Structure formats: C-alpha cells, structure tokens
Amino acid sequence: MNLGALRDEIVYVKNYMDVQYFAEIGIGSPPQHFAVVFDTASSNLWVPSSKCIFSIACYLRSKYRSRLSTTYTKIGNRSKIPFGTRSVRGFFSQDNVKVGSSVINQQVFTEVTREGFFTFLSARYDGVLGLGFQDVAAERVTPVWYNMLLQRIVTQPIFSLWLNRDPKSRFGGEILFGGVDSTHFRGQHTYVPVAQNGYWEIEIGDVVIGNNSTGLCKGGCPAIVDTGTSFLAGPTTILTQINHAIGAEGFVSMECKTVFSNYGNMIWENLVSGLQPERICHRIGICTRNGTFDVSHVKEKMEARSSKLEKLPNDESGLCSFCEMTVFWMQVELRKETTKEKTFEYVNQLCEKLPDPQGKSYINCDVFSLPHITITIGNKPFPLSPDQYLIRVEDNHDTRCLSGFTALDVHPRRPLWVLGDVFLRAYHTVFDFGNLQVGFAESA
C-alpha cells in the first residue's frame, strides 16, 4: 500500500507529430506495458485484451494477459465505453496499475475485446486512461485518478499538464499528479470554475479573429478541456469564418450556395426589417421548427456525402442548417454596417470555406500572413498565433500545414467548443479537482 507516501508523481508523455500524446503505464504483477492517452474527457481505463481475437485493430496493439499477473482479480461484467463517435466493448477486470513510479492497487479497468479498426488504424497508442469525473465513468467504476487520491499517492487533489511543441524533443510533455511545475509556465494562472459535473467543462467568452469579434460566444459558450483531442474544435458557423480568415481550403458546399442564391435577398430584407434572426428561416419556409438555432445537422450532411451515401437534395434539416448559418453570417456583417454587396460577397466566400467531410483543412504555411485567433476565458484574452494553430505534417518529403481548427456540431442550442492539444500546447493547464476549477497560463 502507498499509505503515508504522499508526494507528486510525474508522467512524461511522448509526442507523435503534434496530434497524439501518450505515455507508458504498467498493468499487473509483473507490469505489462501499454501506451495510453491520458484523456480528460473520459473516465475509464481500458486496454486491449488477449481475448480480443475478432478485431483486426487488436493485432496491432499490446494486449493484457491476465494469466501472467499474480495480482489479477476476475470481475467479468460487460463494459461498453464511448470513444469519439464510436465505442469499445469488453469486460471489467481488476489489477494493480503502475503510473510513473507509483502503483495503484486493485484498479478496475476494461479489457477490450472489440474496437473499431478504422478508429485505431493510425493510433500509436494501445488504450486510454481517463482523467475525467466518476459521474461519467462506465458503470461508475472508480477512475485511476480517484484511487491515486484515496490511496494517498499524491499530495494535493490537482494535476497539471504541459505539452511540448517540439515533436522531435525527447519528452513530448508531462503530467504532474499532485502539483504544478513552475518551470513550465509564465506569469499566473487564470482560473475558471468547472461549469458542469462530470466533465472538465468551462465557459468561454468571445472568439476573435484578428481584431474582429465573431459575436457568437459573447454571452458565453461551453467548452470541454480535452487532452484526448488533437485539434481545437468548435461550431461550423465560426470555424468557417476562421477558415476564411486564414485561407484554409475546405469542403465546397453546394447546399450552402443554393440556399444563399435562392433565399439571400429574403434573409437580408427580414434582417433589415428587424425580424428576430432565429425566426427568419421558419418564416421563409425552409425550417419547420421555429425559434431555435441549430447547425448540428451540417456535420451529418457532410459525413453522409463523404461516405457516398445517397444524396438527399430536399433534406429539410440540412437546408435549414445552412439557412441558419447564412442568417448568422449576415447578422454579424449588418452589425458592422457592411453594405449588402460586400455582405453577399463575404457569405458566398464562407460557403466555399466550409470544412471538408473529415473536418480537416489545409492552409498556407506562411505564418506571417495569418491572423491571431483569440479565445476569451475568465474575461482574459488567450491568443493563438499562426505558429501555434498550424500543424505541420510531412507528405512525401514535402511539408504541408493543417489548420488546427476543426468543426464539431454536437449541441443543438449552445455552440460547444473543445479545447484540445492545439490550445493546450500554448497554455499550461491546471486541473484543480479540489476546488473544481481549471487554470491556464502561458506555457514556457
């Protein structure tokens, strides 16, 4: 047992091309080693099982073999854990888990027997160690982080994260359980409260492109701080504006242009007349619902096209979403007193900059020509420079740049953001479990 052995625990992580961060843990006695993502948006620990024989992805991973461990305890209950847009399945087991130099005794985890091949085809890790809250853990099992506190392994109920920008460095970053490493940040942390039980969710304010406010989150938007997501994700409405500003080449949406060309004048006239923006698309006959602002169907529409499903040209929900985005974009320009001609030109350009079906957009690697993108947290601006939001990838000995922003539409009424590794590389982050708050300071 670790009773009385209070201290901090440092875990060094590896950086794979700025898109995957993972570290090694051990399970069992003697320890069987696994590369896992430390994920603040989930709460379970899972690794592939030796009994995973029908999933091709398992053959590419290290597998847990219970018969080789002297501290294994059988549980056997079935387990299903959401992961991204899919899930992994298996059964619960119990064994000792080594994190850093510390051993967590009798930790319940999932032996995965089914995992999607395409989900993990390019993954350099074996499994996931969730650092989220027990409220969202499958079957409410006690997470590893909780047991580190219960077994008195760490000094304080906090952990902090620093990610290294240099993918060629020996260390890709570090997670410090029980403390904060002052060598990895500048100034003071800005703390904001956790807004929802179950997730490391905070509220962000205005999102600014260069010196121009997008206006969507001035009243506050929820944002999940997610160490398991590579990009900075946000609603399609805003990500399209960002793509336009930084010159990203994305998915050309004919539906968007169709709505704009057929209904642009009516939308403009209704806005100028003072009609509530959220009612315009219903009034002109595109949306059947009235008074809601929902762009969540846009992503589904793109994914359907990318998977070559039958196109539904009269799909009301998709056209409605494009109409609502057009209303929002026009409303922003009207507030700036932009002329109708320039507004229409701008909206047409935005239609061309909708993200591609996979949510990725390529961008010019010339950082000097690109604007800063700023997110407001705790009434303080947190800017991202072009060098920070570009992801450089090697493609046949040629360097290409990906936009670090990707579209994610999951919430029907309040635009949801995910502050992934693109943001977390720029800002050292403290997850204060004791006071239910998250702190950000400039990384050093």
Residues annotated as catalytic are 39, 226
- Give the separation between CA 226 and CA 274, rounded to whole angstroms: 39
- Give the separation between CA 84 and CA 73, rounded to whole angstroms: 29
- Give the separation between CA 404 and CA 20, rounded to whole angstroms: 13
Which residues, 6+ apart, have CB-to-CB distance to 67 below 8 Å? none
Q: What is the largest CA-CA distance in the chain?
A: 75
Q: Give, as one character, the DSSP assignment of residue 275.
A: -
Adjacency order of strands within the sheet including 390-395: 362-363, 398-403, 390-395
Contact assessment for residue 15 and residue 173, using Cβ atoms and an 8 Å cutoff: yes
- Give the separation between CA 40 and CA 24, rounded to whole angstroms: 17
Q: Give, as one character, the DSSP assignment of residue 314.
A: T
Which residues, 6+ apart, have CB-to-CB distance to 338 below 8 Å? 346
Which residues, 6+ apart, have CB-to-CB distance to 378 below 8 Å? 190, 191, 192
- Give the separation between CA 217 and CA 204, rounded to whole angstroms: 7
Residue burial 7-35, b: 16+ Cβ < 10 Å; e: rest:
ebbebebbbbebbbbbbbbbbbeebbebb
Which residues, 6+ apart, have CB-to-CB distance to 322 below 8 Å? 253, 255, 256, 258, 259, 260, 298
Contact assessment for residue 332 and residue 234, using Cβ atoms and an 8 Å cutoff: no
Which residues, 6+ apart, have CB-to-CB distance to 310 below 8 Å? none
Which residues, 6+ apart, have CB-to-CB distance to 155 below 8 Å? 6, 7, 8, 178, 179
- Give the separation between CA 329 and CA 209, rounded to whole angstroms: 14
DSSP 38-94: EETT---EEEEBTT--S-HHHHTS--B-GGG-TT-EEEEEEEEEEETTEEEEEEEEE
394 CB-side CA count, 13 A: 5
First-residue to last-residue Cα distance in the chain: 36
* DSSP H helical ranges for 127-198: 144-150
